[in-house]
A and B are shown apart, each in its own frame.
Chain A
């Protein structure tokens, strides 16, 4: 069964304190891995897509990496405005999967000034 597990469930950082969020996945075949940011009461906002092991993507203070079993979202020198829930999702290969996303439960990040 395709599955995504994120850790930790919650992370509290001081402003400027770098850290990483983990996304472990089990999937029959990986079509793509996606990172989203979600603010309270809003829909998820797309951040990155990763397709193959070794691939990396960066955007401002965020950097996403991918291996054959997991992905990391590295946050460098975070600011309070980076506080949000970060969601990881995978798409599996297969004739009838379409664009279906399988989500993890998310990591709630809080950055204190």
Chain B
């Protein structure tokens, strides 16, 4: 069992669909993150949650909607996405500032 688990691993969705990505961490961390990794570009922070409270929204379009019901679970709700949103979406968790983050295996999203 890995420390950070993401489901699904692969997702293909149409531009009018609604889907959700799920992340669960078993490390006892209090901070959770969503990152986006596009081809040939650096990992890009999307959202940060500390103790279930959103502390950063990195100018992400409203078609991405995060939810953090508790310190162990994080969701990313997707609706009316664009083809350019196709990417690897990575969840991570950490003890917070100054500590290393541990990543899940990611969800490979393809928008058609």
Contact = CB atoms under 8 A, between A and B. Distances in A.
Interface of A: 4, 31-32, 34, 36, 41-46, 49, 51, 87, 89, 91, 96-106
B110 interface: no
B102 A46 contact: yes
A87 to B, nearest CB: 7
Majority secondary structure, B binding face: strand
B61 interface: no
A31 B48 contact: no
Contacts of B50: 98-99
A32 B98 CA distance: 6
Given A101-B33, A105-B40, 15 more contacts: A32-B99, A42-B105, A46-B101, A49-B99, A51-B98, A91-B97, A96-B56, A98-B31, A98-B55, A99-B48, A99-B98, A100-B33, A100-B56, A101-B35, A104-B42
Contacts of B90: 43-44
A27 to B, nearest CB: 13
Nearest to B32: A99
Contacts of B35: 101
B73 interface: no
Contact of A43 (B45, B97, B99, B103): B103
9 contacts: A32-B99, A43-B4, A43-B105, A91-B97, A99-B94, A99-B101, A100-B56, A103-B42, A105-B41
A39 to B, nearest CB: 10
B83 interface: no
